[in-house]
Chains A and B, each alone.
Chain A
Amino acid sequence: MRAERPSLIDPWPVRIVVGALIVGFVGLFLALPLYTLFAQAFAKGVDAYLRAIDEPAAWAAIKLTLTVAAIAVPLNVVFGLAASWCIAKFEFRGKQLLTTLIDLPFSVSPVISGLIFVLLFGLQGWLGPWLRSHDVQIIFALPGIVLATVFVTFPFVARELIPIMEAQGTQEEEAARLLGASGWQTFRRVTLPNVKWGLLYGVLLCNARAMGEFGAVSVVSGHVRGRTNTMPLHVEILYNEYNLTAAFAVASLLALLALATLAAKAALEWRGRTEIAS
């Protein structure tokens, strides 16, 4: 079908130039940095690489990052599902406002969002004295990091689901209700299965961002080595100490996460397409 329509095919020179531009761009901005990253990480050999990772502060950072993601991602899945369900399936006052609010973390600099939490929960903040008198520490501790991460990654799931749910309309839900399904049964048996691929995709993006977030977490974490450093923060500290091999080694783990996310995303898209096509 394609080859037989010459009018739709650009002349050779155009194809070469465009192709070269794309390859050049991808190479310069994606492939080359990735290569440098791994090259630097392994510059002093595999032993040095493993030593850089197998170190208490690095392990603590990895554990903290996984813990934060393990809390923030499920929270945002619940929130994202609830918000997109409300927005896509119901009409109510303030719907536009809610839609705008969901986008807020995208439009606010992560550093500002971190600062907001410091202003709220920090020692000098609004709730600081009360929190201190009740012996609750949020800023410079795990709760603060989780809060900042939840805030920053809050739109990913909802943004992914709203268009899918809106496109699907409400008739299947209405049919389910009239067939006798309860609200929860309708959600679990009709709404959720219809968005499962989109949801997984949103979770993946949310997770990638949760593990990679730097700005907001940097403000609320306090950079206590071995206690409140996440992986991105740990990379920064190592880098500032001119410990390049270690910095790139930990960074390579984050890069691997990104590659795994991309692969999973591609697989999901392929799965989603074949399912729709069937």
Chain B
Amino acid sequence: MTIEALGLEKRFGSFAALRGVDLKVEPGELLALLGPSGSGKTTLLRSIAGLETVDRGQILYEGIDADTISLRDRRVGFVFQHYALFRHMTIADNIAFGLKVRPRRERPPRAEINARVEQLLELVQLGGLGGRFPAQLSGGQRQRVALARALAIEPRVLLLDEPFGALDARVRKELRRWLRRLHEEIHVTTIFVTHDQDEAFELADRVVVMNDGKIEQIGSPAEIYDQPATEFVYEFLGGANRLPCHVEGGVALIAGTRLTTDLPRDFTGDAVAFVRPHEIGVARPNGHIDDVAQVRSILPIGPDARLDLEHVSGHIEALVPRESLDAAGIGVGSRCAVRIARARVFPTS
């Protein structure tokens, strides 16, 4: 199902949770909403589900205003962060709930409901546990029950709020892979919220990076990683060096290296450059002073080495092949010339 959000705005008291969000979710895609806490990603998810009413804007399900569709008719499968299983019901009753509450004429016969529950229990690899209560299951098992319960109503869209947030690392990895496979099998439009970029990049077809109630960037994991659209995305993805620099006529001087930027030809002024560690090389000093840095430490990582460099513009982390160090005669405490191969430059606002 296609879902569109148009100009969504939502305030909680004085806190603006959504500040003009536009988003189009394609049928069958697996979309991640990625952002720090307070960025509005959960509010966006809950608004799409119909659990929050937005102050302004519109949500369309297949082009139809979602406000005109009742919660029951939306057929949203929602998985809560803390599962929200019905604690007084068995696992089987939890999964059957969505079918049992249907009006009599739409309700499948009991035998069919039981068969469906069994089938879902198998799907989430919990066969034979239908008679247990939620409190008797582990976190990962509960999460899968929550998913089976959401799938029982044959949802048109599956929404997951921090689905693996409350699980330990090993279970999280396992469930992640399992969810990916499940999505390939059933192909229901899926949106999940996460603050973990690894999770977003590993699972999603497209990632929506959110910050401060707005969307910073939408793209495939590769697009987001290769071309972060804003300073925030760079910072959030982490790992990049943030170097203050000066731009003249669209050309930046970053730690002694002159680089043509994407900025307009006539731009002149202060800016900040983001450079990833592997986009930095080192060489023997060649007499210039601008690009010289002191090597603080060298940490070998396989064939590469991580260098901590001290440059006048700040601390720089570089990842270079170890042989290039030997070739240039660079060791801890020695001086070297910094070579920036690639950078993304944003004007200082």
**A-side interface residues toward B, CB under 8 Å?**
171-172, 174-182, 185, 189-190, 193-194, 276, 278
Contacts and interface: CB of A to CB of B under 8 A. Distances in A.
A174 B51 contact: yes
B84 A185 contact: no
Contacts of B78: 174-175, 178
A276 B87 CA distance: 9
B84 A172 contact: yes
Given A180-B72, A278-B135, A175 B101 contact: no
Contacts of B88: 193-194
B97 interface: yes
Interface in B200-240: none
B97 A176 contact: yes
Given A171-B80, A278-B133, A278-B135, A178 B71 contact: yes
Interface of B: 49-51, 71-72, 74-78, 80, 82, 84-89, 97-98, 101-102, 133, 135-136, 149-150, 152-153
Given A178-B71, A180-B71, A193-B88, A185 B51 contact: no
Nearest to A186: B101
Contacts of B133: 278
A179 B98 contact: yes
Contacts of A175: 78, 80, 84-86, 149
B51 A189 contact: no
Question: A190, A193, A194, A278: which has the most chain B beta carbons within 10 Å?
Answer: A190
Given A175-B78, A193-B88, A180 B51 contact: no
27 contacts: A171-B84, A172-B84, A172-B87, A174-B51, A174-B78, A174-B80, A174-B84, A175-B84, A175-B85, A175-B149, A176-B86, A178-B51, A178-B71, A178-B74, A178-B76, A178-B78, A179-B98, A179-B149, A179-B153, A180-B71, A180-B75, A180-B101, A180-B102, A180-B153, A181-B97, A189-B101, A193-B88
Contacts of B86: 172, 175-176, 189-190
Contacts of B136: 278
A182 B82 contact: no
Contacts of A193: 88-89
Contacts of B80: 171, 174-175
A174 B75 CA distance: 13
B97 A171 contact: no
A35 B87 CA distance: 44
Contacts of A185: 101
B87 A177 contact: no
Contacts of A176: 86, 97, 101
Contact of A182 (B75, B89, B101): B101
A174 to B, nearest CB: 5
A177 B84 CA distance: 12
A253 B153 CA distance: 55
Given A174-B84, A177-B71, 9 more contacts: A171-B80, A174-B80, A175-B80, A176-B86, A178-B74, A178-B76, A180-B98, A189-B101, A278-B136
B70 to A, nearest CB: 9
A172 to B, nearest CB: 5
A20 to B, nearest CB: 41
A110 B153 CA distance: 53
Contacts of A180: 71-72, 75, 98, 101-102, 153
Nearest to A190: B86
Question: B75, B101, B102: which has the most chain A beta carbons within 10 Å?
Answer: B101
B69 to A, nearest CB: 12
A190 B88 CA distance: 8
Contacts of B76: 178
Contacts of B72: 180-182
A190 B74 CA distance: 21
A178 B135 contact: no
B193 to A, nearest CB: 15
B49 A178 contact: yes
B53 to A, nearest CB: 12
Nearest to B93: A189
Nearest to A176: B97
A23 B152 CA distance: 58
Contacts of A172: 84-87
Contacts of A174: 51, 78, 80, 84
